[in-house]
């Protein structure tokens, strides 16, 4: 009986949303959950992610708890617009400006020197923060509605594959999230390419959907 109750509770939290033209009312409900310190599941281009307010320390700790993630692993951040980056980082190198101009919004996560207002739990005490401006319309709408950067970490148990179909979400992640925006089966595949611009020359930390050749041709 308990298992059935949990399953029903999780099902009631799953909200179908159009990936091209997301319903503002559904987006606003998810944004309220985040502003109130909750965790929501939302679509990015390739995988579903776990979103919380990056300035809410308790919510950030819950992300690590839900994912069973070690605190020595940083968490990436999503922003609604390019101008938001300046509030999160100490400086924006010329290389980053070029990458932003060509590839954002899109599948590039840029690693900057984190500003002093960033919780060390996000940076894993490295002093660096990875930021991306997503292209997926539900994620973009959510970011604008929340009006603050949110986490972009994948909705999976640490070390296990990411989730591109809500029906494949780990049951414990479903139970511990407060709102699930289901926009159908996502593309899956490789994630974002991660570039560290705190070093010169810049360093590709992970090659994803954007190749290193494309990046260095711009730089």
What is the C-alpha separation between 186 and 111, in angstroms, rounded? Answer: 25
Predicted confidence at residue 7, as pLDDT, reads 41
Question: Are 4 and 172 within 8 A, CB to CB?
Answer: no
Residue 81 has which token pair?
A: 């617009």
Q: Which residues contact 105 (CB under 8 A, 6 or more apart)?
A: 133, 134, 135, 140
Overall average pLDDT of the 36-46 stretch: 95
In the chain, the percentage of residues whose pLDDT exceeds 90 is 88
Nearest to 13 by CA among 24, 33, 160: 33
Q: What is the pLDDT of residues 99-152, one digit of tens each?
A: 999 999 999 999 999 999 999 999 999 999 999 999 999 999 999 999 999 999
Are 113 and 90 contacting, i.e. CB atoms less than 8 angstroms apart?
A: yes
pTM: 0.92
Instruction: Read off the pLDDT band of 9 (50, 70, 90).
Output: low
Q: Do 88 and 131 form a contact (C-beta atoms < 8 A)?
A: yes
Per-residue pLDDT for 67 more than 60?
A: yes
List pLDDT tens digits, range 52-62: 999 999 999 99
* Strand, helix or coil for residue 125: coil
Domain ranges across the chain: 2-218
Backbone CA torsion sign across 47, 143, 109, 170: negative
CA distance 202 to 79: 21
Domain 2-218's class? alpha beta
CA 49, distance to chain mean position in Å, is 6
């Amino acid at each position: 009986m308990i298992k059935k109750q949990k399953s029903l509770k999780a099902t009631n939290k799953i909200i179908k949303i159009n990936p091209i033209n997301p319903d503002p009312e559904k987006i606003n409900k998810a944004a309220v959950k985040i502003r109130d310190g909750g965790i929501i599941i939302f679509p990015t281009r390739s995988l579903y992610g776990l979103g919380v307010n990056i300035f809410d320390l308790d919510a950030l700790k819950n992300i690590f708890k839900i994912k069973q993630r070690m605190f020595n692993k940083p968490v990436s951040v999503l922003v609604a617009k390019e101008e938001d980056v300046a509030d999160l980082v100490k400086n924006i190198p010329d290389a980053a400006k070029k990458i932003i101009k060509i590839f954002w919004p899109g599948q590039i996560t840029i690693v900057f020197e984190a500003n002093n207002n960033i919780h060390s739990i996000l940076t894993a005490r490295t002093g660096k923060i990875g930021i991306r401006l997503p292209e997926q319309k539900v994620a973009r709408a959510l970011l604008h509605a929340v009006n603050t950067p949110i986490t972009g970490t994948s909705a999976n148990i640490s070390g296990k594959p990411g989730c591109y179909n809500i029906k494949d979400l780990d049951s414990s992640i479903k139970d511990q999230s407060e709102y699930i925006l289901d926009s159908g089966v996502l593309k899956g595949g490789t994630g974002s390419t991660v570039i560290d611009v705190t070093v010169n020359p810049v360093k590709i930390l992970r090659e994803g959907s954007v190749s290193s050749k494309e990046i260095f041709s711009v730089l």
